[in-house]
Structure formats: structure tokens, C-alpha cells
Amino acid sequence: MRIKEVFLTAVGTFGALFVKLFGGRNGSIITLVIFMAIDYISGILLAGVFKKSPKSASGALESRAGFKGLVRKAETLLIVALAVRLDMLTGQNFIAGGVVIAFIANEAISITENAALIGVPLPDVLLRAIDVIKRETKTETK
């Protein structure tokens, strides 16, 4: 019973800190976290089952590539937390929204790329939309 109490306390504490850090329960942040989980799982399936991962030399599952993926996801959440805090500091509510939507779009692109590599047939309209997002992102970062 002691282990269960410690585990539940830790989960509750982490959850409370997460909600406080991100300024309350926010549907867009929840969506981002869900997309991040789907992307990570689809990446594991791509590498572990289909051995087609572009993240490793052999295409197979590698713990180092998986760890790097988790670090990237954590860094993404830190940037979102930064944007949320900037919104709070400036009294605005658009900085975090824009940042979260950009990261959601990035995760959606990665999920569909993984699906395509696995062999899931994707609608042309979705592929064209992703192509437009990729081009606009490259243009904005130059």
C-alpha cells in the first residue's frame, strides 16, 4: 500500500506543477501533449516494427535516438512554458497560442511522415497542406 501512495502522490504533484507551469488547463496544450505522444509512439513503431526510421543509420530502434526524441519533446514543453509565462508577464494571450499552434503543426507533420513511411495511405489534400506548411516554415526561418 505504501508504494501506491507514494506513486499517486508523485503523479498528483507532477500534475499540479504541470498545470501551474502552463497557466491552467488549456485545450491547446493538452492537444500538443497528445500529438507529442502520438508522434513518439509512431516513431517507435516505425523504427521497432518497420525498421524505417530516418533517425538511425540502420533504420531500426535505437535507445539513443529515442532518448534524443524525449529530450526534444521536453525542450518543446519548456519553450511552451516560457511562452505561457511571457503571456502572463505582458498581460497578453497570443504568444503561447501561436507557439503551441506552431508546435502542434510540427507534430502533425511528423506524425503524417511516420504514417507515410509505415505505408498508411494519406489523402492528397493532407500531403499538399503539409508541403505548404513545410515551405512556409523554411521561408520564415531564413
Quote the domain boundaries for residue 84: 25-141
20, part of any domain: no
Q: What is the pLDDT of residues 3-39, one digit of tens each?
A: 888 888 888 888 888 888 887 767 888 899 999 999 9
The predicted structure's pLDDT at residue 54: 83
CA 51 to centroid of chain Cα atoms: 22
Residue 3 burial (C-beta neighbours within 10 Å; 0-12, 13-18, 19+): exposed
Question: What's the domain count of the chain?
Answer: 1
6, part of any domain: no
The predicted structure's pLDDT at residue 44: 92
Q: Annotate 112-125 with b (16+ C-beta within 10 A) or e (fewer).
A: bbbbebeeeeeeee
With a cut of 70, say whether residue 138 has pLDDT above it. Answer: no
82, part of any domain: yes
Distances (CA, A) of 1 to 5, 6, 7, 13, 15: 6, 9, 10, 18, 21
89, part of any domain: yes
Q: What is the pLDDT of residues 75-122, one digit of tens each?
A: 999 999 999 999 999 998 889 989 998 999 899 999 999 999 999 999
18, part of any domain: no
